[in-house]
Amino acid sequence: MPRIPDDIIDNIREASDITEVIGEHVQLRQNGNSMVGLCPFHEEKTPSFTVNPGLQMFKCFGCGEGGSVFKFLQKIDNISFYEAVKRLSDRTSIPLPKSSDHSGKTDPHFTDAIFQANELAQRFYHYVLLNDVKGKQALAYLKSRNVSNDIIQQFGIGYAPGNKNEKWDELIRVAQKKQINFETLARSGLALKTKKGNKIDRFRGRLVFPIRNNSNKTIGFGGRVIEAGQEPKYLNSPETPIYQKSRVVYGLDTAKEAIRHSKSAIVVEGYMDVISLAQAGVQNVVATSGTALTEHQCMAIDRFADRIALLFDGDSAGSNAALRGVEVLLSTGIETRIVSLPDEHDPDTFVQSQGVNALQNLLVEGSPLLKFYMQNLAKKYDLKTNSGKTKALGDLVPLLAKTRNALHRDLMLTEISQRLAVDENILRNEISKNMLRHDSSKRTHIDTQISHKSVTSDIPRREKEFIGFLLKNQKFLLKTVSSLKPEYLESKACQRILQKLFELIDQNSPIDSARLTDQPELSDLAPLVSECVTFGFSEDTLTNYWEESISSFHRRYIEKIITEKRQELTEAQIDGNNLKAKNLSEEINKLNTEKHLAN
């Protein structure tokens, strides 16, 4: 991939407001000179994620992730550095050099190319719906559902041509004209080969709903038939490097501001439910796209909402998928109510016939999460009998054991013991046993989450402090070059950072922490750099701190060499090599003198 000139990257970084970019994914609040919020990269209830607008850096003290605004986009959307720069280039209207353009023509495996293929498909489908005779029937269907042009535009709805009277490769041919090949389309989930080897579009003769990430980039599609007899009724994109359905919440890209404002989210089952409610003026609505709610989806919603309402059709509230979502929400501790519509209604028909106020009343009267779950257990087991209670507890105990928030778990435990008339202490003992049984797998999960944190915690604090000191007090950089060698530091990671700083000084290149993390050779050290710059220093003691640090690093390095030489001396004496022993003794004496001078 062509390298983008550093000055272009610098201009784009400086023109990008990191708090604005991250604020589209994380609900941030002011905390002194920084902004804090819940980390989007690991599960937490207490904010440990910090954004420093002055340094243009983010840092999570929970999982250890950190870096520049580019690093954040790479991580949150699973994209390459180039694509992150390209996005902010478009956002800031700072063009990239044409020679740096990377269309993905030669390598369809780049996520950049998959994003481009999805964006092309969305524009094509949307155009066909609104401007092509092929989309006339699909547009008429939307109008029959009272969907306005504004809502069609807001959600980017389109039509994929290819019914029985149309060609089945229209997207493939359009993409070829834009120099996006079949392999890229196939990897993007937009095209496939038949058993006979024919290349065809995946979505044909369907209304299509773009699935977008929080950066408003199309990452997949949901398709719905508009003609009777076509199967399956619903067709979704397969999973790709940029689309994992268990992590994506449909409509969150358009609803997040309304959710943030109202502090609540309504979760429905399908695309048309979201669109129908949005048409009625209810904007804080998202969907699970027909799948059971997952932990990742709960985390995504929880970043913007304090409360969730699960809105079900009357005939689906007790389904297995619905109950699995309820179980996930119970374990997360998010305040949730369950709202079941009358049997004859879905969200669209209910709002059309009863109005928005009636829906809002239902949301207020919704059943608390645990109460709803217990009611379903009562349908499943006879809770008046000991056998039924035992079976119900068999469902409840593992659920309580998985609940991460101890206070939330304790409150649920008390309520369950009262509802089932079971001794609370016995219930506590059962939960403790279950938690111990799953402790090893839980520990593995935690270890994975804090891998970055563990790596940086093994590095001497003084070395991390010193790197941060140099980045914040660059007047000491030049004298550090002549006073300290990178190998004087114990940590290989800090050695690499210091060596890069020395190279930038030698090249007379600008230095700042965000720019440092975007250097290709240091991209893996972005979490470490972001931690280094969190240390503070008193203006009155800067010189003393620098002198003490240089002396400490030098002295410790000499002590390390002396230890190694003494080991060699012992071996030489054992081998009877008197000449080598004599030379080593002299070296050790010189090193001791140097160590004394370093004090």
CB-count burial class (<10 Å; 0-12, 13-18, 19+) for 537: middle
My answer on whether 237 and 252 are in the same domain is no
> Residue 532: is its pLDDT beyond 90?
yes
How many domains are there within the chain? Answer: 5
Residue 160: which of 185, 177, 141, 138 has the closest Cα?
Answer: 138
> Residue 320: is its pLDDT beyond 70?
no
My answer on whether 12 and 88 are in the same domain is yes
My answer on whether 261 and 280 are in the same domain is yes
* 230 within a domain of the structure (yes/no): yes
* 391 within a domain of the structure (yes/no): yes
* 1 within a domain of the structure (yes/no): no
> Residue 557: is its pLDDT beyond 60?
yes
My answer on whether 189 and 273 are in the same domain is no
At 132 the three-state DSSP class reads coil
Question: Could you identify the residue written with the tokens 């980045």?
Answer: 471
pLDDT per position as a tens digit, 342-379:
888 888 889 989 999 999 999 999 999 899 889 889 99
Amino acid at 49: F
* 189 within a domain of the structure (yes/no): yes
Contacts 24+ apart (CB under 8 A), 71-77: 71/517, 71/518, 71/523, 71/526, 72/18, 72/21, 72/22, 73/21, 73/215, 75/41, 76/25, 76/40, 76/41, 76/213, 76/214, 76/215, 77/213, 77/214, 77/215, 77/217, 77/242
State the sign of the Cα–Cα–Cα–Cα dihedral 82, 88, 90, 93. negative
Looking up residue 119, the CATH number of its domain turns out to be 3.90.980.10
pLDDT per position as a tens digit, 232-257:
888 999 988 888 888 889 999 999 88
Distance CA 267, CA 246 (A): 15
* 319 within a domain of the structure (yes/no): yes
Contact between 489 and 553 under an 8 Å Cβ cutoff? The reply is yes
Distance CA 519, CA 293 (A): 39
> Residue 111: is its pLDDT beyond 80?
no
Q: What is the pLDDT of residue 228?
A: 76
pLDDT per position as a tens digit, 415-427:
999 989 988 888 8
- Residue 170 lies in domain: 111-243
My answer on whether 96 and 115 are in the same domain is no
More confident residue, 106 or 516: 516
Q: Which bin fits 537, alpha (ψ -120 to 50), beta or left (φ > 0)? A: beta
> Residue 2: is its pLDDT beyond 60?
no
Looking up residue 324, the CATH number of its domain turns out to be 3.40.1360.10
Q: What is the pLDDT of residue 107?
A: 42
Domain closes at, from 191, 211, 243: 243
* 445 within a domain of the structure (yes/no): no
Q: How many Å is the maximal CA-CA distance in the chain?
A: 101
Q: What is the pLDDT of residue 441?
A: 45
pLDDT per position as a tens digit, 477-531:
999 999 999 999 999 999 999 999 999 998 888 888 999 999 888 988 999 999 9
Mean pLDDT of the region 8-22: 90
My answer on whether 411 and 461 are in the same domain is no
Residue 212: which of 175, 158, 176 has the closest Cα?
Answer: 158
Q: What is the pLDDT of residue 101?
A: 43
My answer on whether 462 and 567 are in the same domain is yes
My answer on whether 224 and 337 are in the same domain is no
* 447 within a domain of the structure (yes/no): no
Domain closes at, from 339, 368, 397: 368
> Residue 224: is its pLDDT beyond 80?
yes
HEC assignment per residue over 65-102: CEECHHHHHHHHHCCCHHHHHHHHHHHHCCCCCHHHCC
At 243 the three-state DSSP class reads strand
State the sign of the Cα–Cα–Cα–Cα dihedral 566, 570, 571, 572. positive
pLDDT per position as a tens digit, 431-448:
887 766 655 444 444 344
Contact between 386 and 392 under an 8 Å Cβ cutoff? The reply is no
Mean pLDDT of the region 69-77: 92
My answer on whether 415 and 501 are in the same domain is no
Cβ neighbours around 367 below 10 Å, total: 17
Q: What is the pLDDT of residue 470?
A: 95
Mean pLDDT of the region 444-459: 53
* 446 within a domain of the structure (yes/no): no
Q: What is the pLDDT of residue 455?
A: 53
Q: What is the pLDDT of residue 315?
A: 64
Q: What is the pLDDT of residue 438?
A: 56
Looking up residue 62, the CATH number of its domain turns out to be 3.90.580.10
Q: What is the pLDDT of residue 299?
A: 82
Contact between 395 and 318 under an 8 Å Cβ cutoff? The reply is no
Beta partners for residue 57, in sequence order:
52
At 34 the three-state DSSP class reads strand
My answer on whether 485 and 590 are in the same domain is yes
My answer on whether 346 and 392 are in the same domain is no
Domain closes at, from 65, 100, 135: 100
My answer on whether 282 and 223 are in the same domain is no
Residue 71: which of 535, 531, 525 has the closest Cα?
Answer: 525
Q: What is the pLDDT of residue 110?
A: 61
Q: How confident is the model at residue 318 (pLDDT cuts 50, 70, 90)?
A: low
At 308 the three-state DSSP class reads strand
> Residue 575: is its pLDDT beyond 70?
yes
Residues 6+ apart with CB under 8 A from 77: 84, 213, 214, 215, 217, 242
